Structure 1
Amino acid sequence: MKSNHHLSKRGLKAAEKPLRVDMDIYFQAMEDRYHHYTNPEGKFPMNVAENQLCWDALKEKIQAITKSQEIPDWVSSYGDPAGVLSLREASAHFLSGYLTHVPIPPETLAFSSGATSVIELTSFLLADHGDTAVIPAPSYPVYSADIGVIPGIKRYNLQTHHEIEEIKNGIPLSIELLEKSKLEIESSGSNFRMLILTTPDNPTGSIYSEDQLNHLADWCIKNEIHLIVNEIYGLSRIDTSNPEIKEDYPNPIHFVSFAQLMAERRNPYLHFWYSFSKDFGISGFRVGLLHSYNEDLIGGYRNAGLSHSVSNYTQWILTEVLKDRIFLDAYIETNQKALTTSYLMVVRCLKKSEIPFNPSYGSLFVWADLSEFLLENSDKGQHDLWLDIYQHSGILFTPGAGFGHQKKGLFRLVISSVDHQALEVAMERFSAYITKRRNT
């Protein structure tokens, strides 16, 4: 009997399952976006991880490049699938100078069209279909699709804590928890192949300490498990010394790039992800990178990566931006100040409303606990609360579904997706929503 379906099983699964449960409402909110003059009753899309704070400065820089320089002829031809040499060299200098603070050899870098592509291709090359990647929960929901749809890797959400209070001094990821996870995964017939960490973390804003990264790296090397650290928010850091929030960090953790540990060990099981999407606010440019001393991995990336390549025109533009250290100095400083201002505005509101949240070291988020407003402690209750906030305040947060965390009622607030004037209005509306809910 012939099937009525005209797609493969994989195609049907892709067609039926949305990438994110919040995207339809996100597009609605974008069409009715708040503007203080033209649409004062509009919506606030604060659910997608975009940084809109300093685009004007970067746009001006890019326009100056395109006006003053002739497009090189190589842009119209095929290039190295892993990234042209000029971009790899410029990016190596950029990372060394601003994020990793250790030299990055250009030959250890490989580029793809965005962070999603980097995650997908790296996973495809490191793990076999049916293997498992362990990711501490809560974590980026779309990791599931990035590692699962094409690489066919299972996601294991490792529960390191239950309450927000438990991560105020860092993510309590221990060797004991990893050993327990390894036993459970192997008992199920799978293979613990990858450990994926994000620092600063999405959604909690926490960071891993240098000692913690060292212990985790040693354990992964010993067990022949690939440890990949995603530093996509590496330069989107909050000024935790600001007097208004300094007391929120009684035991401050110093950010150390995982690339420093990699440079010391040069081990084939240690890898690093980065993208220009968040720190530079150019998610639409689609530029992500892998850094690894595993020569076979870089070689495989180059051989398999043609369909993931970044356009040569984009590579040229980004290379020219990265060459200007004076611009980069000013841009990164301005961006971090603007991000800190946004963070202060949000946590000021949360503190006034007595909403628990995790003090953030970086990223574009605040992870807040709204569980007191759940009508039922379930996925449905969480979803209903998320919709209720949007319908009565016009603020669209990221729903808790997909982050892999067991506790219900936790939401991600993207603090960089609207400007400061709009964010102030959004927080006023949110405060009014909280007051009304508590009085009913």
Structure 2
Amino acid sequence: MGILSKIATNDGHGENSPYFDGWKAYDSNPFHPTKNPNGVIQMGLAENQLCFDLIENWLKGHPEASICTTEGVVDFKDIANFQDYHGLSAFRNAVAKFMGRTRGNKVTFDPNNIVMSGGATGAAETISFCIADPGDAFLVPTPYYPAFDRDITWRTRVKLVPVVCESSNNFNLTITALEAAYQEAQDAGIRVKGLFINNPSNPLGTTLDREALKSIVRFINEKGIHLVSDEIYAATVFCQPDFISISEILEEVECNKNLVHVLYSLSKDMGLPGFRVGIIYSYNKDVVSCARKMSSFGLVSTQTQHLIASMLSDDDFVERYLSETAERLALRHRTLTRGLNQVGIGSLKSNAGLFFWMDLRRLLKEPTFEEEMKLWRVIIHEVKLNVSPGQSFHCSEPGWFRVCFANMDNETMEIALRRIRTFVLQSKETEVPVKSHRWRNNLRLSFSSIRCEDSMMTPRTITPHSPMPHSPLVRAV
């Protein structure tokens, strides 16, 4: 007793949620096509492995990009010795250019406004430290990424106030919902310091349209609160509509830009989570200065900066990579969602991300979160698929599950699809009660009506590696 601090021993990490429990179930019994074919398939990890072959081929053709090769060792001393927390200028320039490219070159980013961080996790915590005090709060639309509860609040002691979004309007964020959440916090004596949005959305796989983004900017400007736009999935858009960055909206709507900050990372768009490249881009010079000082606790290694700068400065490679990843994501998304549609399982229509929002409400005996957990345990322990239940994303309605589809090879995907289709068909045979929900009538489901550009639907050979690695985040105890 008393040996460890209260922060170290409290439950702020959120590891006791179903989201992390699913990872533990996978870690204790991971699927392998030959060594453990009956193991749990990891569909709870939003990792982009579909274009590793493109990156590997680039690395083979550019050995000088690494200081650990014969061709690159000439730069070893300078890179190994140098560690300025501002970041290498070549790195910041390359990242700024890449951010503009992933946003259709409709906006430009100033390298001087870039602050590096140890992954998006570190970036989210740093921006929280910079603009909020313990006890202050951020509004966050639901459903939202479970680890925000850890990243934004655990060590900062900042609160999250959910903005409830519902399936009746496809989980779209509305000003009515924002006003209600803001007023609820005010009534509770909680000071709201900002609004935290995730665009494209994790877990929905959807993007905010121009009018919604304009309304958000007007809202935060009127309230005088900050806006943090997490855009780490910006380049994972594989169907129309195109992604619109909050930076583009700032050119169209009058607003105090000092209130706006963008989070970015190479973990999703480039599939490099192990490189721990997180970015804060702020229009507020004071925030940039503060965040730079705090970045000393989570810098990106200069070796990584050096390699990334070289890779992202190759315009031909970047163009080819972004085009190919969109096509492969579209094909994978189409294959899985249509396969599920064939047995009556729908999902929210989506156009981005490494996952989709699966609708299993009709498999619940009753529309309760208790029944959602029962169904989830069956899927984890009997079907052997780690999909994440909606309540771990703070979803307001039971029966929704996030399914990640880009972290496996084709063979594993086919096995996962067969497992869930078999489960659904067996559920029908055993007459699992199916409830009719009045909100279902308004829901726009993906089914076979989804149409992406034909070029995105051309079958291709996908060559991500298998077997899937163990979860890097949580190990079974």
TM-score normalised by structure 1 residue count:
0.90
Give the one of 61, 69, 82 matched to 2:72.
69
Moved more, 118-127 or 420-429: 420-429
1:104 correspondence with 2:109: yes
Distance 1:262 1:290 in 2: 17
Q: How far 1:100 moved relative to its partner?
A: 5.4
Give the one of 237, 254, 259 matched to 2:247.
259
Conserved in 2, the CA contact under 8 Å of 1:199 and 1:207? yes
Identity of aligned residues (%): 27
Conserved in 2, the CA contact under 8 Å of 1:210 and 1:255? no
Aligned residue pair count: 420
Q: Secondary structure at the match of 1:305?
A: helix
Counterpart of 1:81 in structure 2 is 85
1:21 correspondence with 2:26: no
Distance 2:13 2:39 in 1: 31
Moved more, 255-264 or 293-302: 255-264
2:215 counterpart letter in structure 1: H
Alignment of 1:20-59 (within 5 A): 20-23=17-20, 25-30=22-27, 32-59=29-56
Counterpart of 2:173 in structure 1 is 173
Counterpart of 1:187 in structure 2 is 187
Distance 1:263 1:77 in 2: 40
Q: Secondary structure at the match of 1:196?
A: strand
Conserved in 2, the CA contact under 8 Å of 1:230 and 1:272? yes
Give the one of 373, 378, 400 matched to 1:388.
378
1:126 correspondence with 2:116: no
1:224 correspondence with 2:224: yes
Distance 1:16 1:256, change over 3 A: closer
Counterpart of 1:205 in structure 2 is 205
Distance 1:17 1:216, change over 3 A: closer
Post-superposition Cα deviations, 1:234-283, rounded to whole Å, max 9, x if no partner, equal 1111234xxxxxxxxxxxx4432212123565710111111100111111
Post-superposition Cα deviations, 1:89-117, rounded to whole Å, max 9, x if no partner, equal 11111112232521111111111010000
Counterpart of 2:9 in structure 1 is 12
Post-superposition Cα deviations, 1:309-352, rounded to whole Å, max 9, x if no partner, equal 11111111111111111111111111111111110111112211
Q: How far 1:158 moved relative to its partner?
A: 1.0
Distance 2:5 2:27 in 1: 33
1:136 correspondence with 2:136: no
Conserved in 1, the CA contact under 8 Å of 2:261 and 2:280? yes
Q: Secondary structure at the match of 1:411?
A: strand
Distance 1:210 1:74 in 2: 45
Distance 1:100 1:82, change over 3 A: farther
Distance 2:161 2:59 in 1: 41
Q: How far 1:56 moved relative to its partner?
A: 2.7
Distance 2:348 2:13 in 1: 35
Q: Secondary structure at the match of 1:314?
A: helix
Conserved in 2, the CA contact under 8 Å of 1:238 and 1:360? no
Distance 1:418 1:160 in 2: 31
1:349 correspondence with 2:339: yes
Post-superposition Cα deviations, 1:374-424, rounded to whole Å, max 9, x if no partner, equal 245443322221120122222111122321112112100001111122112
Q: How far 1:226 moved relative to its partner?
A: 0.7
Give the one of 332, 340, 351 matched to 1:361.
351
Counterpart of 1:247 in structure 2 is none
Conserved in 1, the CA contact under 8 Å of 2:85 and 2:296? yes
Distance 1:266 1:22, change over 3 A: closer
Distance 1:321 1:125 in 2: 31
Moved more, 56-65 or 45-54: 56-65
Counterpart of 2:458 in structure 1 is none
Distance 1:27 1:59 in 2: 30
Counterpart of 2:460 in structure 1 is none
Q: Secondary structure at the match of 2:324?
A: helix
Conserved in 2, the CA contact under 8 Å of 1:20 and 1:142? no
Distance 1:423 1:215 in 2: 39
Post-superposition Cα deviations, 1:156-206, rounded to whole Å, max 9, x if no partner, equal 111121x3x521xxx532222222222110110111111111111111111
Q: Secondary structure at the match of 1:413?
A: strand
Distance 2:17 2:77 in 1: 40
Q: Secondary structure at the match of 1:185?
A: helix
Distance 1:31 1:337 in 2: 34
2:248 counterpart letter in structure 1: Q
Q: Which blocks of at least 5 consecutive residues in structure 1 are unaligned?
A: 241-252
1:314 counterpart letter in structure 2: T
Distance 1:224 1:206 in 2: 27
Conserved in 2, the CA contact under 8 Å of 1:392 and 1:433? no
